[in-house]
């Protein structure tokens, strides 16, 4: 989406929000005009994104990839989805950054500078799948409120940092530790410094996993600002909202963390199935933990045209939250029959797995390729939308692409 197209779809009130003041005579602005103060707010330039990335929201910034942009084994910054809840912090200075560990269940509160974290603790590098809990929300009916993600709110970058476990063991945690909660420096949309845009967390067992990192590098370089520079939490396999950006404090709790976006319907689904559109009481909602099994065809791009004599080589990725994917199948007859694809093992736990297959088509015409992954516990992707929930989370229906054979 070009800059002018982006502005055209942005309401005058949204522009005023970005400017920080009412735009006097705003209605007199020429069509497609981009206010001077915002000319650096082109997201494609601001975040160095591929021009095919899709902007869903600008306050806060929420941007997703198209499926074919995720064809890389390791997701690059230019194709990585952006999910924010507040305003990105400014004037970040890594040389003065610190992280405080506190809470009811620490033996002693302690603060580390970023440099101390890097020097005192061993570094680890993992490829980690991060997926927004609302990825696929656009398919729910009745519609669920929130960013209307299609399939591109997922990534698998290479993250380098220190294990949260090592830091917590250095500080000392009590036997009654139940949860950790993160706190960060992004600003609430209201501008109120006393409100946190988001402050989520994970159970202590998840916090102590080898792959749960305090990360300071992505793909071998400093993490880009929009993805959490200079320090973020990485807790793969769970909704990406558990992997807080710009963190400066972690609280070790003696209870389930009760920060912003931990309560009500946020990142929660009904504990028991409900009918479409049914209202659910807060106390009947359960926190999302491990994400469900899922897959994505990243090559070719949907809509590809091939000749009847040609074989089509497809590829993509599959992942299953805390589990591994045991098999990947594809169908060209709308799920009537399924064929096994080649499936690689993950490079490490919580990384997505690559699949490939060579397909021949029986005649000319329109076809769809469907992909279905099965995890190590036998759970597989549904062919249609899974159970409805009020916030449109956890859509793991089979991915489909269109192919025309001439």
pLDDT reported for residue 33: 55
Domains of the chain: 94-287 (3.90.420.10), 294-405 (2.60.40.650)
pLDDT reported for residue 38: 53
Band of residue 59 on the pLDDT scale cut at 50, 70, 90: confident
pLDDT reported for residue 37: 56
Rounded CA separation 80/155 (Å): 6
* Chain mean position to CA 304: 27
The token pair at 171 is: 């500080």
In 3D, which of 164, 48, 47, 154 has the Cα closest to residue 112? 164
Rounded CA separation 186/199 (Å): 10
HSE of 242, CA atoms in CB hemisphere, 13 A: 29
pLDDT in tens, 362-383: 999 999 999 999 999 999 999 9
- pTM for the model stands at 0.89
Question: What is the average per-residue pLDDT within 91-101?
Answer: 94
Is pLDDT of 40 > 60?
Answer: no
Quick check: 178 and 255 in contact, CB under 8 A?
Answer: yes
Is pLDDT of 1 > 60?
Answer: no
Give the strand pairing for 268-270 and 110-113: unpaired
* Chain mean position to CA 187: 20
Rounded CA separation 372/396 (Å): 10
pLDDT in tens, 292-349: 999 999 999 999 999 999 999 999 999 999 999 999 999 999 999 999 999 999 999 9
In this structure, of 3-7, 19-23, 247-251, the range with the lowest mean pLDDT score is 3-7
Rounded CA separation 20/183 (Å): 25
User: If you average pLDDT over every residue of the chain, what do you get?
Assistant: 93
The secondary structure of 248-311 as a DSSP string is EEEEEESS----TTSSTTTTEEESS---TT----GGGEEE--SPPPEEEEEES-TTEEE-TT--
Band of residue 384 on the pLDDT scale cut at 50, 70, 90: confident
Question: What is the average per-residue pLDDT within 195-207?
Answer: 98
Rounded CA separation 294/382 (Å): 9
Quick check: 140 and 392 in contact, CB under 8 A?
Answer: yes
pLDDT in tens, 242-254: 999 999 999 999 9
- Cα dist from 316 to 106, 158, 302, 321, 404, whole Å: 43, 18, 13, 17, 19
In this structure, of 12-16, 86-90, 96-100, 378-382, the range with the lowest mean pLDDT score is 12-16
Rounded CA separation 352/146 (Å): 26
The token pair at 333 is: 């007859």
Rounded CA separation 373/154 (Å): 16
Omega of the bond prior to 356 within 30 degrees of 0, cis? no
Band of residue 180 on the pLDDT scale cut at 50, 70, 90: very high
Is pLDDT of 113 > 70?
Answer: yes
Of all residues in the chain, what percent are helix, strand and coil, respectively (each to 5)?
Answer: 15, 35, 50
Is pLDDT of 13 > 60?
Answer: no
The token pair at 323 is: 């589990």
Band of residue 26 on the pLDDT scale cut at 50, 70, 90: confident
Bigger pLDDT: 35 vs 377: 377
Residue 349, C-beta contacts closer than 8 angstroms, at least 6 positions apart = 126, 210, 211, 324
Is pLDDT of 7 > 50?
Answer: no
């Amino acid at each position: 989406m070009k800059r002018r197209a982006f502005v055209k779809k942005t309401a005058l009130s949204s522009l005023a929000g970005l400017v920080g003041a009412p735009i006097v005579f705003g209605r007199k602005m020429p069509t497609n005009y981009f206010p001077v103060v915002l000319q650096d707010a082109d997201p494609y330039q601001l975040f160095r994104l591929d021009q095919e990335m899709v902007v869903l929201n600008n306050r806060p910034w929420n941007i997703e990839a198209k499926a074919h942009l995720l064809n890389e084994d390791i997701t690059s910054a230019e194709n990585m989805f952006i999910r924010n809840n507040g305003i990105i912090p400014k004037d970040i200075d890594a040389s003065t950054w610190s992280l405080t560990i506190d809470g009811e269940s620490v033996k002693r509160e302690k603060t580390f500078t970023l440099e101390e974290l890097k020097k005192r603790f061993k570094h680890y590098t993992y490829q980690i799948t991060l997926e927004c809990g609302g990825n696929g929300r656009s398919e729910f009916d009745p519609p669920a409120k929130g960013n209307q993600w299609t399939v591109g709110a997922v990534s698998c970058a290479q993250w380098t940092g220190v294990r949260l476990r090592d830091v917590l063991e250095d500080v000392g945690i009590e036997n009654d530790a139940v949860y950790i909660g993160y706190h960060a420096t992004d600003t609430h949309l209201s501008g109120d410094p006393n409100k946190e845009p988001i402050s989520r967390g994970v159970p202590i067992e998840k916090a102590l996993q080898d792959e749960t990192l305090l990360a300071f590098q992505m793909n071998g370089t400093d993490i880009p600002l929009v993805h959490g520079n200079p320090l973020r939490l990485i807790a793969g396999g769970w909704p990406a909202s558990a992997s807080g950006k710009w963190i400066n404090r972690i609280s070790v709790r003696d209870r389930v963390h009760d920060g912003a976006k931990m309560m009500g319907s946020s990142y929660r689904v009904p504990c028991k199935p409900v009918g479409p559109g049914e209202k659910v009481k807060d106390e009947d909602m359960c926190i999302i933990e491990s994400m469900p099994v899922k897959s994505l065809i990243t090559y070719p791009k949907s809509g590809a045209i091939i000749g009847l004599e040609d074989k089509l080589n497809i590829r993509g990725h599959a992942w299953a939250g805390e589990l591994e994917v045991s098999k990947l199948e594809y169908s060209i007859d709308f799920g009537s029959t399924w064929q096994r694809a080649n499936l690689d093992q993950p490079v490490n736990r919580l990384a997505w797995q690559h699949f490939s297959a060579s397909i021949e088509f029986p005649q000319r015409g329109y076809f769809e390729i469907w992909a279905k992954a099965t995890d190590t516990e036998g759970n597989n992707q549904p062919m249609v939308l899974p159970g409805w929930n009020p916030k449109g989370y956890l859509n793991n229906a089979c991915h489909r692409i269109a192919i025309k054979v001439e």
